[in-house]
């Protein structure tokens, strides 16, 4: 049986992506006025819940409207309150915004990862892919942990018009993650790189190394590559789940390594929040910074949480309640503040820094401390069998959890983009672009773990439909299409075919 394989159209897809990127660049607006939810810390909400938007409205313009925009729908949000003042979001840099805007997610809003749009004084401010709306929180739920992508360590092409080589693997991993369909993704640091290597050898070394404020690609372009992609390859915004990012030791470009205020301020300007917490049902997740800012004199390696950010995270846990399970994300695997971890009874400590997968128990809770390996190229190609292409899946069930071994998303992560052999694929028999009244999707799971609730999004001609496997999770009706999200279980080392037909 013939299925339409995405890889057969990779060159055309990259051409279309590049064309659309140029078109979007001509009309894009700086989104830095929306500080939360934004790049480092998006939001996950159920319908009917409220959110406090941090908006830097320095000109004091009126808030005209606030929207959520998805690929197939948009939702106008009710503005409940607009508070004016100085609202601090970083205790180290003292960074503030001038508006705190409370809005409510209307009942009936489709489940989607949305752009947040604030219309203010005739200006349009966009925070892309920053609000995940759910019909209801789910128990159990899953998330994915990746680390150390080092996006922009290697550069292809010219400084002004090239792209980060790491995007080539990230683009293909995004395809795998979107089939698994986690509730959220956590990246534990070294998301960009503090230097750029041109014309590297086959192992990712050699060539010419540049850094500093005067050597493009500058920090803005590095973070843009990480989020928006480049060269026809997807960035983090390609995930269909919200992505939470924390800083690592390489996550700055330009400032001197010991200039902590400048590094932390650069993160604020280009990423938003640096230290934060969020909840998913009774799970509390906290993101820390053990490199850019908030250094503690004399004891940084022994007690990195004994300063300002430790107090902020303590406050979050005390205010939100400690819940049934606590997860902490930090970058360095061997800089664990056991006093903080034990005091807050952290169950899972996610980290990276070292590029080999590892896990161990620390502290008295005890706390499971683990790292996944690296998911994309970062100069580890010589050791690829031990380091490259890895991620982990976690399943949280009330006060218990399970995690996968390190999973490699493709069989040959050092191969060229078009030659990568994926361990999880989704192929459609017909074009999935809204013209068909029947279709068939084939999911092939070559992992040695079962994958429940994989997601297949069918874009069909308008009508009522039924499926042969799994269940229809939701239907989004547009003026042109019926968009159906189907959830299906796929066992390890098996394939599952899902047929959809018009009723």
pLDDT digits (tens, 9 = 90+) for 191-201: 999 999 999 99
User: Distance of CA 154 to CAs 251, 271, 306, Å?
Assistant: 15, 21, 36
Q: Average pLDDT for residues 326-335, to the nearest whole number? A: 95
Question: How confident is the model over 12-25, as a mean pLDDT?
Answer: 41
pLDDT band at residue 293 using 50, 70 and 90 as cut-offs: confident
- pLDDT for position 304: 86
At 122 the pLDDT is: 87
Phi, then psi, of 159 in degrees rounded to 5: -55, -35
Q: Which of 314, 267, 279, 268 is nearest to 89 (CA)?
A: 268
pLDDT band at 289 (very low <50, low <70, confident <90, very high): very high
Superfamily of the domain at 141-419: Metallo-dependent phosphatases (3.60.21.10)
> Which pLDDT value is given to residue 345?
98
Is residue 322 predicted with pLDDT exceeding 70? yes
Q: What is the pLDDT at residue 4? A: 55
Q: Which residue has the higher pLDDT, 379 or 484?
A: 484
Q: How far apart are the first and last CA of the chain?
A: 24
Looking at 15-24, 230-239, 371-380, 419-428, which range is the least confident one? 15-24
Q: Which of 10-24, 346-360, 430-444 has the lowest mean pLDDT?
A: 10-24
Q: What angle do CA 185, 136, 239 make, to 5 degrees?
A: 25
**Distance (Å, rounded) from C-alpha 181 to C-alpha 251?**
27
Handedness of CA 17, 21, 23, 24 (dihedral sign): positive
pLDDT of residue 12 exceeding 50:
no
Dist CA 188 CA 392 (whole Å): 12
From edge to edge, which strands make up the β-sheet containing 208-210?
Answer: 163-164, 154-156, 196-198, 208-210
Peptide bond preceding 365: is omega within 30 degrees of 0, i.e. cis?
Answer: no
Superfamily of domain 423-502: Golgi alpha-mannosidase II (2.60.40.1180)
CATH no. of 33-127: 2.60.40
- What mean pLDDT comes out for the span 29-38? 77
**pLDDT band at residue 356 using 50, 70 and 90 as cut-offs:** very high
CB distance 104 to 50 below 8 Å: yes
CA distance 143 to 359: 17
Any idea what DSSP says for residue 147?
-
Residue 25 has pLDDT above 70, yes or no: no
pLDDT in tens, 202-216: 999 999 999 999 999
327-341 CB burial, b ≥16 within 10 A, e <16:
bbbbbbbebbbbebb
**Is the CB of residue 498 less than 8 Å from the CB of residue 468?**
yes
pLDDT for res 306: 87
Residue 424 has pLDDT above 90, yes or no: yes
Band of residue 58 on the pLDDT scale cut at 50, 70, 90: confident
Are residues 266 and 219 in contact, defined by beta-carbon separation less than 8 angstroms? yes
Cα 136 from Cα 134, distance rounded (Å): 5
**pLDDT tier, 296 (very low <50, low <70, confident <90, very high otherwise):** low
Specify whether the CB–CB gap between 283 and 396 falls below 8 A.
Answer: yes
Q: Name the band, by pLDDT with cuts 50, 70 and 90, for residue 16.
A: very low
Q: How far apart are alpha carbons 498 and 270 in whole angstroms?
A: 42
CA distance 252 to 212: 10
| Local confidence band at 3 (pLDDT 50, 70, 90 cut-offs) | low
Query: Does residue 138 register a pLDDT over 50?
Result: yes
Q: Is the pLDDT of residue 404 over 60?
A: yes
Which of 371, 356, 344 lies closest to 285, judged by CA?
Answer: 344
Q: What is the DSSP string of 420-469?
A: --BSEEEEESS--SS--SEEEEEEEE-SSS-EEEEEEEEEEESS-EEESS
Residue 103 has pLDDT above 70, yes or no: yes
**Alpha-carbon dihedral of residues 189, 195, 198, 200, nearest 10 degrees?**
-60
**Count of residues making up the chain:** 503
Buried/exposed 212-244: b ≥16 CB within 10 Å, e otherwise: eeeebbbbebbbbbbbbbbbbbbbbbbbbbbbb
Rounded to an integer, the average pLDDT of 254-263 is 94
CA dihedral (36, 42, 44, 47) positive or negative: positive
pLDDT of the residue at 13:
45
Going by their DSSP bridges, the two strands 400-403 and 390-397 should be labelled as: antiparallel
213 or 27, which is more confident? 213
Distance separating alpha carbons of residues 497 and 427, to the nearest angstrom: 10
d(CA 231, CA 172): 14
Query: What is the percentage of the chain residues whose pLDDT exceeds 70?
Result: 92
Domain residue limits, the chain: 33-127, 141-419, 423-502
Q: Kindly tell me if the per-residue pLDDT of 19 is higher than 90.
A: no
Per-residue pLDDT, 191: 98
Q: Do 33-127 and 423-502 show the same overall fold?
A: yes
pLDDT band at 31 (very low <50, low <70, confident <90, very high): very low
307, 305, 240, 246: which is closest to 275 by C-alpha?
Answer: 246
């Amino acid at each position: 049986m013939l299925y339409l394989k995405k890889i057969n159209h990779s060159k055309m897809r990259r051409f279309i992506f590049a064309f659309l990127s140029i078109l979007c660049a001509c009309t894009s607006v700086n989104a830095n006025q929306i500080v939360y939810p934004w790049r480092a810390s998006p939001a996950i909400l159920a319908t009917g819940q409220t959110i406090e938007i941090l908006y830097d409205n320095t000109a004091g313009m009126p808030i005209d409207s606030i929207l959520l925009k998805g690929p197939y729908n948009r939702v106008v949000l009710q503005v409940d309150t607009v508070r004016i003042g100085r609202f601090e979001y970083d205790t180290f840099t003292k960074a503030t915004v001038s508006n705190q805007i409370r809005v409510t997610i209307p009942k009936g809003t489709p489940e989607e990862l949305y752009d947040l749009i604030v219309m203010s004084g005739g200006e349009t401010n966009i925070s892309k892919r920053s609000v995940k709306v759910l019909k209801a929180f789910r128990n159990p739920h899953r998330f994915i942990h990746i680390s150390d992508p080092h996006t922009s360590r290697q550069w292809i092409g010219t400084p002004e018009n090239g792209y980060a080589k790491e995007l080539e693997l990230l683009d293909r991993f995004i395809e795998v993650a979107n089939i698994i369909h986690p509730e959220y993704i956590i990246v534990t640091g070294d998301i960009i790189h503090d230097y750029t290597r041109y014309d590297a050898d086959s192992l990712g070394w050699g060539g010419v190394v540049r850094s500093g404020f005067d050597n493009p690609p500058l920090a803005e372009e590095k973070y843009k590559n990480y989020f928006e992609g480049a060269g026809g390859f997807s960035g983090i915004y390609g995930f269909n789940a919200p992505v939470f990012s924390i800083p690592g030791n390489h996550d700055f470009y330009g400032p001197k390594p010991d200039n902590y205020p400048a590094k932390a301020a650069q993160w604020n300007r280009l990423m938003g929040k640096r230290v934060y917490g969020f909840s998913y049902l009774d799970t509390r997740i906290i993101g820390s910074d053990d490199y850019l800012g908030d250094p503690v004199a004399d004891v940084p390696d022994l007690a990195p949480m004994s300063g300002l950010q430790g107090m902020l995270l303590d406050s979050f846990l005390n205010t939100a309640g400690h819940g049934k399970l606590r997860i902490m994300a930090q970058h360095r695997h061997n800089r664990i503040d056991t006093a903080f971890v034990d005091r807050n009874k952290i169950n899972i400590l996610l980290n990276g820094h070292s590029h080999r997968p590892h896990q161990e128990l620390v502290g008295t809770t005890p706390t499971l401390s683990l790292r996944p390996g690296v998911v994309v190229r970062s100069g580890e190609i010589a050791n690829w069998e031990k380091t490259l292409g890895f991620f982990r899946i976690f399943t949280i069930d009330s006060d218990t959890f399970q995690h996968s071994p390190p999973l490699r998303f493709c069989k040959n992560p050092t191969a060229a983009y078009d030659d990568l052999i994926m361990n999880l694929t989704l192929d459609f028999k017909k074009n999935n672009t809204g013209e068909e009244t029947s279709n068939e999707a084939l999911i092939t799971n070559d992992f040695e773990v079962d994958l429940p609730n994989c997601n297949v999004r069918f874009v069909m001609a308008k009508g009522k439909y039924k499926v042969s496997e799994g269940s229809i999770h939701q239907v989004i009706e547009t003026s042109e299409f019926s968009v159906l999200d189907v959830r299906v279980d796929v066992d390890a080392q098996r394939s599952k075919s899902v047929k959809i037909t018009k009723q």
